Structure formats: C-alpha cells, structure tokens
Chains A and B, each alone.
Chain A
Amino acid sequence: MGSHRILAFAFVLPVLLIGGATAVAQGPAFGIGRAPTPEEIKALDIAIGPTGEELPPGKGTAKEGAQLYRTKGCAGCHGAEGIGGAAPILKSKDPKNPDLWARGRILPLRAPFATTVWDYINRGMPLNREGTLTADEVYSLTAYLLFINDVIPEDQALDQQSLPKVKMPIGDNYAPLPDWKPRTKRLAGYPY
C-alpha cells in the first residue's frame, strides 16, 4: 500500500505543478471507481441548468397545471391560487409593483430562468411524495405557476424546447455573482 501511494503521488505532483487548477489532461492516478453507464448518469442528472439540456421530453399547459395544482395537493399548502397556505407563496401579493424585487421572493416570478421552476417542482414536490410527478405533469404545473404570475399566456404549451426560452420578468436585473478566490476577503474594500 505504502509504495503504491508513493508511486501515485510521484505521478500526480508534476501535473499539479504544471497543470494549475483546471485544464489538466491527465490519466487517473489511483484507478479507483468505475465508469457509470449513460443510463445511470441520465437517471441522476436532474439538475436542470439554464440551457435546459437535461430536460426530459414531455409537455403541458397552464390549464392542465391548474387541475393538477388541486388534484396533487399543491393548493393544500400553497393556497388556492398560490397565496394563503402555510408553504411559501407562489404568486405576488403586490403584482403591479414596478420594482420586481419588491414583489416578493416568489420562485415563478423572480427566478431568472423558467428551468429553475421546473427543476424544483421535479426535485422537491409534492412534499413527502417527491419524484412521483411525470414530466408532463411538471411541465403543466410550471406553465400554471408562470401563467398566474403573468409570465406566459394561459394557452402556451411548455416543452423541452420552449421552457428554456421563456423570458422571465427579472431578466438580468440581479447582481453578478461574486468572483470567489481562495485566501481573499469576502468583498474588496470591505474591512469586515
């Protein structure tokens, strides 16, 4: 074991010195772990990024979503139309406020990408029955929540192609993400 480790480090070290943090073309140092099959990757690959490339096939409309919102129990926690339940509200109580940030922290309104809404419903809803919704149902519920926030018209069907193209009202009206670097202050010029 000991001599194996020394060999392994002897291999890794030059790469570290030359390669830097990223862009390292190198072979595995330890040869531990196995390659997952494409099916195994697909089954776990549920984080939907802004391009929507991980979205599964399927489609749905706000009308279908409105029905599912009741039959799947969403209304029980989130209120009849996204307001009035114990869970986070899904529709602004101040929808006409010109300052979008003042309308409240509402996922289907403030999220910069509609993919975030799809991702969360698919990932974490309904409470205690996570993972039971079909792709069509998630598209429908996403369409419904975007419709009640005046983001899309009631008759717009959402699918793999159209969902990532939905223009969210916040656009790019949010602060850039911090450019984090190791061993630096949290915020340049901030003494604390």
Chain B
Amino acid sequence: MGSKPLNRRALLKNGAALAGGLTLGAAAPASGGQQTADHHAPPSWPMIKGDKDMIAYGDRSKYVTSVRIAHPVGGRPSPDQFGLTFHIATPLQDSVGVITPSSLHYVATTRGAFMPDIDPKQHRFMIHGLVDRPLTFTMDDLKRLPSVTRLHFIECAGNRSSRAAKNVQQTHGMVSCAEWTGVLLSTLLKECGVKSSAKWFVAEGAEEVKGASSMPIAKAMDDCILAYGMNGEAVRPQNGFPLRLMVPGFEGIFHTKYLRRIKIVDRYYMNYNDFGHLDQDAKVAALEYQIGPKSVITFPSGEQQLPGKGFYEISGLAWSGGGTIKLVEVSTDGGKKWNKAEFKGTPQRMAFTRFGYQWNWDGSETEILSRCTDEVGQVQPTRAQIAKYWNKPYDQTFSVPGLDNSVQPWHIASDGKVTNGFA
C-alpha cells in the first residue's frame, strides 16, 4: 500500500469511482464533486488483519456488496423455506470483463432442488448405449485425459426482459460466462467407439431428479466438454460439482450438472426435459435450442444514476450460440443511428464479448441500445422486428417466440436516471 499522501488521494478517488460502478446507492453522493475527505489529514484506514480463513481462501472487500438475487422478481424465492434453490440471477450491472466469478454465476434448477453433496472420489461417469466399448471413468481418470480450457457462456431459456424488470440483473441476469476446463466429449466417444446408428445422446445428472436431456450426436462430436474446472478451480456445487456437461451455445438446461451418465441412442428419447422442448410450430421449436445473437448494455443500465452530462464509456456484453461475435453496434439516440463498438479483448466462440463505446452525453433525454452480429450472420433484432417477422402486431401482448434475444433499450431521463425502456 502506498503511504504518500498523493497516492492515498488517488486511491480514495478511484475507490469512490469504483464504488459508483459497484453500488448504485453510493454513486450519486460520491461523484457529486464535493469530497468530504480532509485534505490535510489523509484517512488512515483500519487494517484488515489476516486470519487463518482469509489466508486459506481469500474474501472480497467488505465494500464490494454485489450479490445474486432470486429470479424472477416476485417469483419463487431461492432459497425457499426448505432450503431449495430454484432460479438465481447474476448481478450483470456490476460485472467487468467477461468472466462471471463462480460465486456469482447464475443458477437454475429444473424444479426447486437441493444440491447433491457429491464425494468426487466416489463419483463415476459412464458412457454406454450404441458404442463398441462402454466405459466408466473416475474423476482421476478424466483428469489424465487431454483437456481443453475455454470460455463459454451459459444462458437460461427463461432469460427474457419484461416491463416489470427494473435493472439488468432482473432483465438479463440468467446468463453468465466462465472459463471451463475439462475433456472434450468427442475424446471420450472416440475412446468408446460410436456405432454408425447413433443419432442422439442422453445426458443425465446425479441430483435428486436425475435431470436428463436428449441432444444431437453432431453436437457431442463438435464441442461438448465434460468440465471439472471452472474459473481456475473445481466446478462449484451449484454449477454441477464434480462434473458438468458443457453444450456451448445451447440453452442452459442442456448443460447437465452432476453428470453421471451419457447414453448413445438412435432416437430422441423424449424424457421429461425433451417433452418440454416440444412445440406445435417447427419454427418456434428450432428457436429453442441454440441461443441467438444477444447483447445488453450493463453500464449505464436500469436503476443507475448518471451524475451529469459529459463523458461515459458505455459498456456491455454480447454473446451468441452461433459462435463468435463479429460486430457490436451501439445507438445513443433510440435506434436512429448505430455506431460500431470497440471489443475489449478477442471475441471467442460462444463466450461473452465485452464491448465499449465512448459517449459524450449532452444531458438530454434519450435511449441507449446495443445490437450484435455473430459469425454466421445472425443479427440481434428489436422486438418490433421480431413481431414483423411473425406477422404479429407489436404491442404489449407480444411475446418473442422461442428464446428471447431482443435488443434491450435503456431510457435515460434528463436528470440522469436510467430506466428499463420496455417499462
């Protein structure tokens, strides 16, 4: 820690700015320009004493208070009175970069669930069905095999903005991105020898409901990962410890947690989750597997307060189940003019891409939006564009068919208050 007064003042300033980004309540007073700090006596901070726990496994600052919330607002609580978890949304408004900390990763369960407390030494993973050699692996076995480490997002099918949602955690918080490490499923399938009659595979978890989904064998051979690592450590229990299936770009429910078994089969197995994917309309059914191109501005976003006109770097996240993000555009005038945003880092396939756009706000009321284009040419639409495609009137009864990847408008009032443009 610097001991010179100058450094301390810089630290204080940065600290205030950081707090503004992290906790909304603190933003307005801290950035009002009138610092109350005594210039003659730089504050002497209390010292954090290292204790055994903190040495063993570090904590964040007590001033960083960003937390997950039950989703959706007014919906089923997590935990409920029995300690069951249902849906929990990540605080995107506080996110920086592209990695969601494991502690803040969104969580969804197919129904309210306890987490299985699995001893990894006892855990087994089996591949069988239409293979030449069924195989069972221990976790140690899996860690001997060639591994991959990749950034991938996961998004819940229920991640859709609504008029009732007030901030980006409520509108978009059921998506997260982590660095996943594990073995490619294709590596194991080659080890087992897949028969030519294989068309689908069923992945199944070891939790109480033994969640199972059917997926195309082409996806298994393409890029699915049996992940044991997440953000540099073991996958967390809420995210499927000790082993979870990553199905990059597919909707969240396919990313089977507590993975214990994969069966190679010749048909769609029509388990409960599969039944949930059935639809009357083939077009809607097609839009309920792979996540579409999607982006959202995380700063400034709903419930935040701009202290006044002037410079802001608009910041946000873009992702697509179709692959790499190729372009992000930002509009600061309600969608009349679109401007190319800057990528922070190199976009990766089925991963968050952080974007920025430098903006001088003139202090007048406006709406800011972002849209993205992915490597296969899919463009993120507005809800009005989607309604037009489906030949439906765009009014308050309109619901986006399939997964909702529509553009999120943030309204900025002349007093700097940011609100949901759908409200």
Interface of A toward B, CB cutoff 8 Å? 5, 8, 12, 15, 21-30, 32-36, 40-41, 44-50, 101, 105, 107, 110-113, 115-116, 119-120, 123-124, 128, 130, 173-178, 180-187, 190-192
Q: How many Å lie between the Cα of A52 and that of B184 in the bound state?
A: 30
Contact (Cβ within 8 A) A112 B405:
no
**Of all chain B residues, which has the CB nearest A125?**
B209
Q: How many Å lie between the Cα of A101 and that of B285 in the bound state?
A: 14
A-B contact pairs, 25 of them (CB 8 A): A8-B146, A22-B196, A23-B195, A33-B136, A34-B135, A36-B134, A41-B126, A47-B263, A47-B271, A48-B269, A107-B275, A111-B270, A116-B274, A116-B275, A124-B111, A174-B278, A175-B279, A180-B219, A183-B323, A186-B321, A186-B402, A187-B287, A191-B379, A191-B389, A192-B293
Contact (Cβ within 8 A) B209 A192:
no
Once A21-B217, A180-B219 are accepted as A-B contacts, the answer to whether A116 and B271 lie under 8 Å apart by CB is yes
Q: How many Å lie between the Cα of A25 and that of B193 in the bound state?
A: 6
**Of all chain B residues, which has the CB nearest A187?**
B286
Q: How many Å lie between the Cα of A46 and that of B272 in the bound state?
A: 13
Once A47-B202, A190-B283 are accepted as A-B contacts, the answer to whether A112 and B270 lie under 8 Å apart by CB is yes
- Kindly list chain B residues whose C-beta atoms are within 8 Å of the C-beta of A45: 128, 263
In the complex, per-residue mask of B210-228: 1 if CB is within 8 Å of any chain A CB, else 0: 1010001111011100000
Candidates B133, B260, B279, B389; contact of A192 at CB < 8 Å: B389
Q: How many Å lie between the Cα of A105 and that of B279 in the bound state?
A: 10
Contact (Cβ within 8 A) B126 A40:
yes
- B317 lies within 8 A of chain A by Cβ: no
Contact (Cβ within 8 A) A21 B190:
no
Which of B111, B221, B278, B377 neighbours the largest number of chain A CB atoms within 10 Å of its CB? Answer: B278
Once A47-B202, A186-B289 are accepted as A-B contacts, the answer to whether A26 and B265 lie under 8 Å apart by CB is no
- Extra A-B contacts (12), CB below 8 Å, given A41-B126, A46-B210, A130-B208: A25-B193, A29-B190, A29-B191, A32-B137, A47-B271, A49-B269, A110-B278, A124-B208, A180-B216, A183-B323, A184-B322, A186-B287
Contact (Cβ within 8 A) A32 B194:
no
Q: How far is the CB of B194 from chain A (nearest CB, A)?
A: 6
**Of all chain B residues, which has the CB nearest A121?**
B272
Q: How many Å lie between the Cα of A68 and that of B281 in the bound state?
A: 37
Contact (Cβ within 8 A) A50 B128:
no
Q: How many residues of B contact A (CB 8 A)?
A: 78
- Kindly list chain B residues whose C-beta atoms are within 8 Å of the C-beta of A101: 280
Once A182-B219, A185-B377, A192-B380 are accepted as A-B contacts, the answer to whether A49 and B289 lie under 8 Å apart by CB is no
**Of all chain A residues, which has the CB nearest B263?**
A47
Contact (Cβ within 8 A) B196 A123:
no
Contact (Cβ within 8 A) A178 B289:
yes
Q: How many Å lie between the Cα of A24 and that of B196 in the bound state?
A: 7
Contact (Cβ within 8 A) B204 A47:
yes
Which of B136, B202, B204, B323 neighbours the largest number of chain A CB atoms within 10 Å of its CB? Answer: B136
- B38 lies within 8 A of chain A by Cβ: no
- Kindly list chain A residues whose C-beta atoms are within 8 Å of the C-beta of B191: 28-30, 32-33
**Of all chain B residues, which has the CB nearest A25?**
B193
Contact (Cβ within 8 A) B209 A124:
yes
- B145 lies within 8 A of chain A by Cβ: yes
Contact (Cβ within 8 A) B378 A30:
no
Contact (Cβ within 8 A) A44 B126:
yes
- B376 lies within 8 A of chain A by Cβ: yes
In the complex, per-residue mask of B63-78: 1 if CB is within 8 Å of any chain A CB, else 0: 0000000000000000
In the complex, per-residue mask of B268-311: 1 if CB is within 8 Å of any chain A CB, else 0: 11111011111111111111011011000000000000000000
- Kindly list chain A residues whose C-beta atoms are within 8 Å of the C-beta of B177: none
**Of all chain B residues, which has the CB nearest A38?**
B134
